[in-house]
Structure 1
């Protein structure tokens, strides 16, 4: 079954970039749709797509998950993530085709588990996408990343230094790993910020997106 999603169409006549925003564990597309509405004012040529993850969340049945964080079997977690990636691949391919946009104009933005999915999606593409912007996230499965690594798009990670869900050290570990793999990647930490996105983070993320496709 195809993923359900919210979309926000470009306001200019020319649609020249596609931005997918992926929510975190137990959330849904409504949680991050406000990011699209805010950024649209500055990115009139962008088409935004904010999908729900395919599975009902085990902890919060009103929300969704890309894979079950309560699962203790790592093989099952990996399989769930791969199934979700295939469903994500399907909807992204369809949108790129519908809008007649090339992969190098595709940007993935993720929060927490959505960042994990964005990274894994991006590195497995035969055609390199424009980039990945990750909030409060990390690489979830290093072994899987190395196994599927084909492409090395630009990445930027933004993270609160008192994040209690995904400790900031996890972000630094991910960045160092990617640098060793010759990715163009950087990061920024925000003082006093927990597991969330700050106004400064939204502005810094917007600047990253503008620079990707300018």
Structure 2
């Protein structure tokens, strides 16, 4: 972690000490922090030996004293309007963080993948679809697409993986199908996997799907 970055959190760099040629940024859910996702990197590091994995802590602490954890934006009403406004408001901070991290490793967005879980998935979609240069991949797990009716002008080159548990009682799985439909109708290559028997979590199936998706997306980049 360098002092210049606007956000901080745990990181995992190439085990062999080789130069960083890919960057995977892991965006945690509401009430968690970067440590909640960094262990995913240990599974994917074998598949992506030249990648660095960064798991920044969201910019805001939860408003409830004693609960700990962070949020990308406040959740009070949990309405589509709140999701859209919150994601839009938080996007500039995440964009700045990504710009700083890419500059640090002398990379551009073609070497970047965004992974998000729950609220982090909202941020991965909000930010990744609106980067000036298309990232290599966006992976959205157990989340939803903020501003699904306002996709005019988004870039359409980045492939998107949507993974969601059918038994999710926090963010119901119909949000995954709705996101897939909206992205596909916009002309974005979106791949949907609804996993039976899975609640609001990530299991081995999701880890495997994500690893394969990242490998394929990065292999198509120079």
The alignment's TM-score, normalised by the length of structure 2, stands at: 0.88
Equivalences for 1:133-212 in 2 at 5 Å?
133-143=139-149, 145-146=150-151, 149-212=154-217
Tell me which residue corresponds to 1:131. Answer: 137
1:83–1:43 CA distance, 2 compared to 1 (3 A)? same
Whether 1:88 and 2:101 are equivalent positions in the alignment is: no
Q: Which runs of 5+ in 2 are unaligned?
A: none
1:147–1:182 CA distance, 2 compared to 1 (3 A)? closer
Equivalences for 1:5-154 in 2 at 5 Å?
5-12=9-16, 13-59=18-64, 61-71=67-77, 78-143=84-149, 145-146=150-151, 149-154=154-159
Hey, what's the Cα distance between the residues in 2 that align with 1:140 and 1:78?
A: 5
- Of 207, 213, 218, 1:213 maps to 218
Hey, what's the Cα distance between the residues in 2 that align with 1:157 and 1:136?
A: 8
1:15–1:53 CA distance, 2 compared to 1 (3 A)? same
Q: Is the 8 A contact 2:151 2:186 kept in 1?
A: no
Q: Is the 8 A contact 1:23 1:32 kept in 2?
A: yes
1:77–1:105 CA distance, 2 compared to 1 (3 A)? same
Q: Which runs of 5+ in 1 are unaligned?
A: none
Hey, what's the Cα distance between the residues in 2 that align with 1:75 and 1:193?
A: 27
Which has the larger helix fraction?
1
Q: Is the 8 A contact 1:58 1:70 kept in 2?
A: no
